[in-house]
Amino acid sequence: MPGVLELLPAEQVTFRRMLETIRAGYERFGFVEVETPAIELADVLLTKTGGETEREVYFVQSTGARQQGLEPDLALRFDLTVPLARYVAQHEQQLAFPFRRYQIQRVYRGESPQRGRFREFYQCDIDVIGRDELDLRYDAEIPAVIHRVFTDLEVGPFTIRLNNRRLMRGLLAGLEVADASRQSAVLREVDKLEKRGVERTADALVALGLPGPAVDRLLTTVAYRSTGLEDALATLDRLVDEYPETASGASDLATVLEAVAAFGVPENAYALDLSIARGLDYYTGTVYETTLDDHPGIGSVCSGGRYDDLAGYYTSSRLPGVGISIGLTRLFWQLRDAGVVGPSPAVTRVLVTLIDPEGLEYALSVGAQLRDAGIPTETRPVPSRLGKQLKYADRVGIPFAVICGEDERARDTVTVRDLRRGAQDEVARRDLVSHLRTLIDQE
């Protein structure tokens, strides 16, 4: 079906390993897992959206309700943030703050099917939610998590790019763009700079009413990208000198950058990048985007930021937070397309063959022995030609076959064949587990 990603088994293994790597990275930093229903009340999902998002929502309705002409009151979630807001507001009295949650689930959007865009896809989110306040050092922890996760994913060098929305609004105020809604429109255009290029972005800014000199100064400023921590801090100082309105945002960003270093993130893995604006007004402070150095065309592979009030539509409590999201389905598709990831070996390590009906009990016993030892094993309950079974094992990527012929059963042994090397050994049943473990360790 268009707009969904179906994988063959060997690629599914790779995808699952990436997912579990992300999960393990999140848990390593003390985030706890939360799951929310795929279906939410439509009023909950649409409270803070409308516009483009509302046109992408899939509504859910029973056949009976449709026949009665009733309006659908349920919808599939289109991200994990709105359900999180509802969850925190609903369970606020039972949660401990700061609330550190991760969530890895599918979301659904009615997008037009195209390369790299899906109607159903996995999002892998983390958020830290405070009650009343949340220290900026939590903003600095997020890059530490990103660095750990993408290092463990082994997808090559990457850069975590940071900026601050308050700093950008101060910069625009210094350029005499004072109206908040106009600032938002300008930031949305700046956020497209990398995709559109300087000329098209300049034209868009002029169309918003910015004078030519202001456009030039803005684009010159946002072209900056730091080369290290000292360079970033010095640049923030110079920016404040030139545009005093940026002082508050620059101070926050300096605090975050210094704490990122304290978290142990290498200087070559993160940078201050003033072109990172994040087009959503949802973000109010620190913002992040992560890109792969060797594959810039892929774009951002992880993004997010700081927000002042997560659940303002659902509770009177002030719940500031910070978080990021990895769109794993799209990331996997792009990495596969770029040749960075590919099929993985089968999870099953051993095929126990069955050549004759009389050997069924022996073969099943051998399979149980290996599974009890923690070795993923498939057994054949129906006899067939050995060559056919070995060909099957090779095709699905099972590296070892255990042969239980009449002669082996008489001696209480098995023959272990390494299908990649073409070598084989006869092994006593009592030594089978240790023998296979040695072969598996040598893979």
pLDDT (tens digit, 9 = 90+) per residue, 307-360?
Answer: 988 888 888 999 999 999 999 999 999 999 888 898 988 899 999 999 999 999
Q: What is the mean pLDDT of residues 371-386?
A: 96
Residue 161 has pLDDT above 90, yes or no: yes
- Going from the N-terminus, what domains does the chain have, and what CATH number goes with each? 1-155+294-344 (3.30.930.10), 157-285 (3.30.930.10), 350-441 (3.40.50.800)
Query: Tell me, what amino acid is at 440?
Result: I
Residue 195 has pLDDT above 90, yes or no: no
Q: What is the mean pLDDT of residues 109-125?
A: 84
Angle at 13 between CA 7 and CA 15, to 5 degrees: 65
pLDDT in tens, 257-307: 999 999 999 999 999 999 898 766 678 999 999 999 999 888 899 999 999
Q: Let me know: does 420 contact 370? Beta carbons within 8 Å.
A: no
Rounded CA separation 228/223 (Å): 16
User: Within 10 A of 421 (CB to CB), how many other CB atoms are there?
Assistant: 10
Rounded CA separation 127/161 (Å): 18
Give residue for tokens 């022996």.
362
Rounded CA separation 166/243 (Å): 13
Q: Let me know: does 419 contact 400? Beta carbons within 8 Å.
A: yes
Rounded CA separation 388/382 (Å): 12
C-alpha distances (whole Å) from 170 to each of 134, 164, 181, 244, 285 are 22, 10, 14, 8, 12
pLDDT (0 to 100) of residue 314? 86
pLDDT (0 to 100) of residue 72? 82
Q: Let me know: does 159 contact 270? Beta carbons within 8 Å.
A: yes
Which residue from 249, 224, 257, 247 is spatially nearest to 142, judged by alpha carbons?
257
Instruction: Using CB atoms within 10 Å of the CB of residue 296, give its burial: 0 to 12 exposed, 13 to 18 middle, 19+ buried.
Output: exposed
Query: Tell me, what amino acid is at 28?
Result: R
Q: What is the mean pLDDT of residues 367-388?
A: 96
Q: Peptide bond before 2: cis, by omega within 30 degrees of 0?
A: no
pLDDT band at 28; cut points 50, 70, 90: very high
Q: Let me know: does 132 contact 330? Beta carbons within 8 Å.
A: no
pLDDT (0 to 100) of residue 113? 67
Q: Which long-range contacts (CB under 8 A, 24 or more apart) does 368-375 make?
A: 369/429, 369/432, 369/433, 370/402, 370/432, 370/433, 370/436, 373/433, 373/437, 375/349, 375/350, 375/433, 375/436, 375/437, 375/440
End-to-end CA distance of the chain: 37
* Dmax (CA) of the chain: 92
Q: Let me know: does 304 contact 324? Beta carbons within 8 Å.
A: yes
pLDDT band at 69; cut points 50, 70, 90: confident
Residue 48 has pLDDT above 80, yes or no: no
Q: Let me know: does 302 contact 324? Beta carbons within 8 Å.
A: yes
Question: Which residue spans within 252-297 are E strands per DSSP?
Answer: 270-272, 286-292
Q: Is 314 helix (H, G, I), strand (E, B) or coil?
A: coil
Residue with the bigger pLDDT between 136 and 222: it is 136
Give residue for tokens 């910069």.
171
Rounded CA separation 372/433 (Å): 10
pLDDT (0 to 100) of residue 52? 54
Give residue for tokens 């150095």.
293
pLDDT (0 to 100) of residue 2? 72
* Residue 218 CB contacts under 8 Å (≥ 6 apart), including other chains: 171, 172, 175, 186, 190, 205, 210
- pTM: predicted TM-score of the whole model, two decimal places: 0.89
pLDDT (0 to 100) of residue 49? 44
Rounded CA separation 40/183 (Å): 33
Tokens at 68, concatenated: 């009665």
